[in-house]
Chains A and B, each alone.
Chain A
Amino acid sequence: MTIPSETTAEPTAAIAPAASGGDLVGRSPGQLMWRRFRRDPTGMISAVIVLLFILVAVAAPLISLLYGKDPYTTYGQDRPGLLNDFGFPLLPNGGISSEFWFGIEPGLGRDVFMQLVYGIRTSLLIALAATVATTLIGIVIGIVAGYVGGRTDYLIGRVIDVLLSFPSTLFIIAFMPVLENIMVKPEEETPVWLRAAALITFLTVFGWAGLARLLRGNVLSLREREFVEAAKVTGASPARIVFRELLPNLWTPILIQSTLLLPALVTSEAALSFLGVGMIEPTPDWGRMFLRGTEVYTDDITYLMFPGIALLIFVIAFNLLGDSVRDAFDPKIRR
């Protein structure tokens, strides 16, 4: 069951129709959340922007087809007259033209627009996978720690302490070469899936602890509530208590946390790529665009602008969306 709070019995939704003689309309917390969310223009606009990014990621091959270019061909090197002898675009502003909308990548001469469009795919996929994994592990461990309590809780608490004290970025940078040393023979090249899987794993390993600690706290207070006690007295199995009594009351913090987690992971992935342990060539990736952009910025600042501004818009939209989701779920919290 879900705790009936003041928020679920919103006066405007439930009482007003009754006063005017209409029927009482029962609405689930989800419906109420959606109604509140729809009335929030900032939330709606940011949701549209986020959806747009996802749409671009999904439709990348279609965009590539219509645009007539792909992210791998080195146009600048194949065709003379695009790059100068030092590998920089001849045209001003990074070689922006009607043919190359966002210009040409310095050096390799690939199309920047296509790099950006396909780059969303990589960044989003990795961040999404890591978010899902982090959330699942965080839910399971948080509930176990809070519900079982005792020695299990103590042990999990210490593991979380250690993980939160770990310098995670440094550790990932240091351990990535070690991992490749183990998994890949020296004469072979590192497969792309290995890097992607390693990134997702590392981000997850260091990511779940925060959510687990938060949910543990929530479960600790929920465990003592009457409705859980009532369920126990009526002989409900632990599985029933966890899934039917506890979990429905945890969806709000879980949803809020994961909406805020996704953009954080997108930027983490970009930061790791920027530090050289992210995705490898030739997979298009925003983080690697940053790395290349900071290498050549004194000669070609335009190349850095595109991933920079795109990531900025994405993160702002997602942060605003996260705030709006929180407001919609819990209008009592004022930011």
Chain B
Amino acid sequence: MLRFLTRRGLGAAFILLIVAAVTFFLFFAVPGDPARLACGKVCPPETLVQARHNLGLDQPIFVQFVEWVSGIFVGRDYEELGHCPAPCLGYSFVNREPVFGTIVDRLPVTLSLTVGAAIIFLLFGVGTGIIAALNQGKALDKVASVSSLIGASVQIYFVGTLAMYFLVFQWQIIERPRYVPITEDPIGWAYGLLLPWIVLAIIFTANYTRMTRSTMVEQLSEDYVRTARAKGMSARTVVLRFALRGTLTPIATIFGIDLATLIGGAIITETTFSLQGIGRLSIQSVNNDDLPMLMATVLLAAAAIVVFNVIVDALYAVIDPRVRLS
């Protein structure tokens, strides 16, 4: 296990380095000049040179990249802004705040959004999948398959906006979604994010229902399930202890991908519900030409994907002891 994790960890670090390098060179290699932006509207040439120097933009791109990467591990010193301790992702071009601090500020919003929605869609999706599989071909199965088809085909910006219109503005059942830290007010936290959670769950549940149903149907016809039944085990034990275990592998796969995508920035969801998470931050940094901030959000999104890939692969071995990690 340790060897597997070391090997995959190194692989993941390598992928992150490539993603960072590609993003860095593409964005720093363009004619647009971030120094001009940092310098302000009226910008005398001397100030521009100074601004460029302060941002480290007068150095060759390669040197800039090495400095950026080493800043993450050992920190960096800025002439103007002083020392930036390790994990240093630079300073925002726009408000001169440390990028790392802003990310740390925004991450709880995205994490709360993800965790809440994930719990709902995982439980609900797997639950309806099991029920559909046990009632194969009956009305309940048909209802589950039709609703998961609609759920899988609908768009967040459409359902989310409809939900906002009817539930928030027309009927005033629920308040506008907002983020309250869970440490301050757990009930307010859940209440404020309830609507985005439900909307995300509508869209993500479908995949789990379909996946669970189809794998469960297969598992139920396996010999080992029949043996368990023949031995006189209760239906509950057969389904939950035996058949469900066999469906966990594909579910872990899609759950890993979904979590990674959401943590990396639920851009559309956060835009639809005006939540100030990582997704919004990334859009704002694009609009402001704030390259250090953008680099950080890209890195975070890519990190979420590679980290969850490793976790899911390691989980396979836990779920199914026959799987050998290599």
- A residues near B (Cβ < 8 Å) are 161-162, 164-167, 169-171, 173-175, 177-178, 181-182, 263, 267, 270-271, 274-275, 290, 293-294, 297-298, 301, 304, 308, 311-312, 315-316, 319-320, 334-335
Given contacts A167-B265, A301-B165, A319-B152, contact A174 B298 (CB under 8 A): yes
When A and B form their complex, which 3 residue pairs have the shortest distance between CB atoms, in order from nearest? A167-B301, A308-B158, A315-B153
B224 at the binding interface (Cβ < 8 Å): no
A165 neighbours in B (Cβ, 8 Å): 15-16, 19, 302, 305-306, 309
Residue contact A182 to B31, C-beta cutoff 8 Å = yes
Q: Give residues 260-294 of B contacting A (CB, 8 Å).
A: 264-265, 267-268, 271-272, 282-283, 286, 294
Residues of B within 8 A of A315 (CB): 153-154
**Is B173 part of the binding interface, using a Cβ–Cβ cutoff of 8 Å?**
no
Distance in angstroms between the alpha carbons of A319 and B150 in the assembled complex: 10
Which residues of chain A are within 8 angstroms of B214 by Cβ–Cβ distance? 334-335
A-B contacts, 16 listed (Cβ < 8 Å): A162-B15, A165-B305, A165-B309, A167-B264, A167-B302, A167-B305, A170-B265, A170-B282, A170-B297, A170-B301, A173-B267, A174-B286, A177-B286, A301-B162, A304-B161, A308-B162
Is residue B178 contacting chain A, with contact meaning CB distance below 8 A?
no
Give chain A's interface secondary structure class. helix
Residue pair A173, B286 in contact (C-beta under 8 Å): yes
Stretch at the interface among B22-30, B58-66, B110-118: B22-30
B232 within 8 A of A: no
Q: Known pairs A173-B267, A290-B158, A301-B162. 13 more at Cβ < 8 A?
A: A164-B305, A167-B265, A167-B298, A169-B267, A170-B267, A171-B298, A178-B30, A263-B153, A271-B157, A274-B157, A290-B155, A301-B165, A320-B149
* Contact-size category for B: 35 or more
Contact, CB under 8 Å: B15 / A316: no
Q: Considering the chains assembled together, what is the distance between the CA atoms of A315 and B22 in angstroms? A: 33
Contacts of B306 in A (CB 8 A): 165
A170/B298 in contact, CB under 8 A: yes
Known: A161-B15, A167-B298. A312 touches B31 (CB 8 A): no
Whether the Cβ atoms of A290 and B157 lie closer than 8 Å is: yes
Q: Do B155 and A308 touch across chains, with their CB atoms under 8 A apart?
A: yes
Residues on B lying within 8 angstroms of A by beta carbon are: 11, 15-16, 18-19, 22-23, 26-27, 30-32, 149-150, 152-155, 157-158, 161-162, 164-165, 169, 210, 214, 217-218, 264-265, 267-268, 271-272, 282-283, 286, 294, 297-298, 301-302, 305-306, 309
A271–B268 touching, CB < 8 Å = yes
Closest to B289 in A: A177
Q: Which residue of B lies closest to A308 (CB)?
A: B158
A102 to B: closest C-beta gap in Å: 16
- By a CB distance below 8 angstroms, the chain A residues around B297 are 167, 170
A311 in contact with B149 given A167-B264, A178-B27 (CB within 8 Å): no
Q: Indicate if the CB atoms of A181 and B32 lie closer than 8 Å.
A: yes
- Distance of A312 Cα from B158 Cα, bound (Å): 9
Q: Which residues of B contact A182 (CB under 8 A)?
A: 30-31
Closest to A333 in B: B214
Q: Please determine whether A319 and B149 come into contact, CB atoms closer than 8 angstroms.
A: yes
Could you tell me if A294 and B272 are in contact, using CB atoms closer than 8 angstroms?
Answer: yes
Given the complex, which residues of A lie within 8 Å of B157, measured CB to CB? 271, 274, 290, 294
Residue numbers in A under 8 Å from B271 (CB-CB): 275
User: A275, B283: Cβ atoms under 8 Å?
Assistant: yes
Contacts of A297 in B (CB 8 A): 161, 164-165
Contact call B165/A298, Cβ cutoff below 8 A: yes
Most chain B beta carbons < 10 A, residue from A271, A274, A297? A274
Q: Which of A166, A177, A270 contacts B19 (CB 8 A)?
A: A166
The reply to whether B19 and A311 contact each other, CB–CB distance below 8 Å, is no
The CA of A325 and the CA of B209, in the complex, are separated in Å by 21
Tell which of A175, A294, A311 touches B161, judged by Cβ atoms closer than 8 Å.
Answer: A294
Q: Which residues of the other chain, A, contact B305 by a CB distance below 8 angstroms?
A: 164-165, 167
